[in-house]
Structure 1
Amino acid sequence: MTLLFTIFLLVFITQLISWIGQSVLLELVYALYLRVFHAATAERQRKLKSNLLKLKAELLQTSAQDQFAKWAKLRRSVDKGLADLEKLNGEISARKSGFSMRFNSAIWILTTGLQFFVGWWYRRAAVFYLPPGWLGPLGWWLALPFAPAGSVSVGVWQMACKRVLKVGERVVKEISAVRMAEAERAEVLKEKEKAAKAE
């Protein structure tokens, strides 16, 4: 029974990552990674951005003709700040590309790679047995490729779990679309009632 739930859990986690989106997860995990392991860099970037915005606002309020010396000084400060920010953003971007490669590799290993490994390791094991004669002569294909006859193999169970989760996803999306349409329809009716009362 544990093999049955282990395979379902692996397929569920893979589908959950697919639903959320690997890029969304990457952004969330990278933001957390940046705050935990590179807090000084993130804080420096935040301060540099806020300082740059203040300098730009002050530059826009300063007349280039009437206060040229002040305007030129502010302009040099803004240019230097932009160069520093660009350099810092380059460092962060390089760090992010390395992190992205490691993160995507870890996600692949923890989902697809682990599913392949479990499928290979338990290729001859039965996830569970069906009642004798339940599907008649067609029951043999549930045991493909190497599981004992009359059982459900790991590969077939993985495909069945994935299919059920995809159908569940479709049902949830359709239900939410129907609810959103009903809410929009109710909003339109309220607007019509308000318009009718106003006349």
Structure 2
Amino acid sequence: MQSQTLFLVITGLTILSNLVSVVTKERVQGAVYAVFLKLFLTEKYNKLMKLKSEQLAVNKERNAISAQDNYAKWTKLNRKYDALADQIKKEEHALSGQKSSIDSYVSRALQLLTTLPINALKLWYARRSLFYTRPGTFPWVIDALIINIPFLARGSVGIYVWCFCVNRVFWILVDFVKLLTEPGPLPPSKEKVN
């Protein structure tokens, strides 16, 4: 792999990995599950929604009837409500089993797409320079000892240092955006406290 290609690939993978961290894995899993639900489990989901709406209607009707005046009708509705609750519980249990398996697949896929390639590239191209800096750009100590980790030629920047720099810049930008978008603290009140 050429240095320019390696540079672009490692930069893109590092940014992608950090974006997944910002968005959070749970949101990604929830979005994938929602798409999976709409595409493949529409019958089960529609059945669950139908049962819930039917349970809501039975509950509304049951609450409208006085248990003392129409005891027989109220008990019949109560039994129907309990039966619907059991069916809903079974359907939700089946869907939650699907959700947990989808969550584990998504978690593995995210790891395969982000973490694993970065670590593989770091191991495979550890002794390769991504780019070089001009002499005198940094002080001698930084130029000779820090930038060229793991022991590359002087003035060259390796994959470990570049990943570190991309990560730091990314998280600084995330913090800056959060600072701009989140509301600030309230000003202190001018009330006197005894």
2:169 pairs, out of 146, 150, 164, with: 164
Match of 2:147 in 1: 142
CA contact (8 A) 1:123 1:146 kept: no
Q: C-alpha distance in 2, partners of 1:119/1:147?
A: 14
The one of 107, 111, 117 equivalent to 1:104 is: 107
- Length-normalised TM-score, structure 1: 0.84
SS in 2 for 1:127: strand
The runs of 5 or more residues in structure 1 that have no matched partner are: 186-199
Which one has the bigger helix percentage? 1
**RMSD over aligned Cα atoms:** 1.9
1:68-95 per-residue CA deviation (whole Å, 9 max, x = no partner) reads 2211211111111000000111111111
Q: Which of 104, 113, 116 is equivalent to 1:113?
A: 116
CA-to-aligned-CA distance 1:117-171 (integer Å, 9 cap, x gap)? 1211221221111113433533132121154432111111000000000111111
Aligned counterparts of 2:181 and 2:103: Cα–Cα separation in 1: 32
2:151, 2:53 → 1: CA distance? 63
Q: What corresponds to 1:79 in structure 2?
A: 82
- Residue 88 (structure 1) aligns with: 91
Matched residue, 1:34: 37
* Aligned equivalent of 2:56: 53
Letter in 1 for 2:156: S
Query: Identity over the aligned pairs, expressed in percent?
Result: 30
Count matched residues.
182
Aligned to 2:131: 128
SS in 1 for 2:105: helix
The ranges of structure 1 where at least 4 consecutive aligned residues each deviate by more than 6 angstroms after the TM superposition are none
Verify: 1:23 aligned to 2:26, yes or no: yes
Q: After alignment, is 165-174 or 138-147 more displaced?
A: 138-147
- The alignment's TM-score, normalised by the length of structure 2, stands at 0.86
